[in-house]
Amino acid sequence: MPKQIDASTRRLEVVDAVFRVVMRGGLERASLRTVADEAGLNIGSVRHYFTSQQELMRFAMQAMLDRVSARLLRRIDELGDVSALPPTRQRQRAADVLAELLPLDEERHAEVTVFIDFVTAARTNATFADLAAKAALGTRALVRQTLTRLQQTAGIRPDLDLDTETERLTALMDGLGLNAILHPELVGADTCDAVLRAHLDSLRPARR
């Protein structure tokens, strides 16, 4: 008897195929046919789940955002309450969470690569515009929450303007991610991680 695969599982398998196609050739290569070939399916099977390329691409982008969000939530749960830790350790733990958005390993490198293609396309393709905006707001919310918590527990200076610092840190992370994908020979995973941690340490309270 043939193995039965539920619709949600099949959709996620197709999404994984989208990511592989985009990784190799960019978003413009991710037609229904090339994705079907990558997934080892006939195009009719893909059309059964996604009626158009735009529907498939939108579903893939949302799936990626959901995947990253779920991993961030797990990471935050694993870290637990850090308020009793010394300020240096608090900043290190904060960097551990924020580093989930940087291309520090194969999985995150693939995510950032595909994400850059999606948000670049969103500039002229309304299909992705709301999801790109949602991702930008989500990143800022995470950064703001992280900095607020550090400020409340004396992990960073009390006089810092968190609106400004949120934009500074978000811009830093975006720049690191983009350069690590475009110029990996110049900006590697170790550099990304070190720059993020150095930035947070630069916000530490002055020694008395």
Q: Is the pLDDT of residue 4 over 60?
A: no
User: pLDDT digit string (tens) for 125-168?
Assistant: 998 999 999 999 999 999 999 999 999 999 999 999 999 999 99
The answer to whether the 1-51 and 61-202 domains have the same CATH topology is: no
CA atoms within 13 A on the CB side of 47: 4
Q: Check residue 1 and give its pLDDT.
A: 38
pTM of the predicted structure, to 2 decimals: 0.89
Assess if CATH 3.50.30.30 describes domain 1-51. Answer: no
For residue 110, the SS3 value is helix
User: pLDDT digit string (tens) for 106-121?
Assistant: 999 999 999 999 999 9
For residue 197, the SS3 value is helix
What's the DSSP call for residue 207?
P
| Domain residue extents for the chain | 1-51, 61-202
Q: Which CATH superfamily is domain 61-202 in?
A: Tetracycline Repressor, domain 2 (1.10.357.10)
For residue 179, the SS3 value is helix
User: pLDDT digit string (tens) for 39-67?
Assistant: 999 999 999 999 999 999 999 999 999 99
Q: Check residue 47 and give its pLDDT.
A: 92
Cβ proximity of 112 and 103 under 8 Å: yes
Q: What is the 3-state secondary structure (H, E, C) of 106-160?
A: HHHHHHHHHHHHHHHHHCCCHHHHHHHHHHHHHHHHHHHHHHHHHHHCCCCCCCC
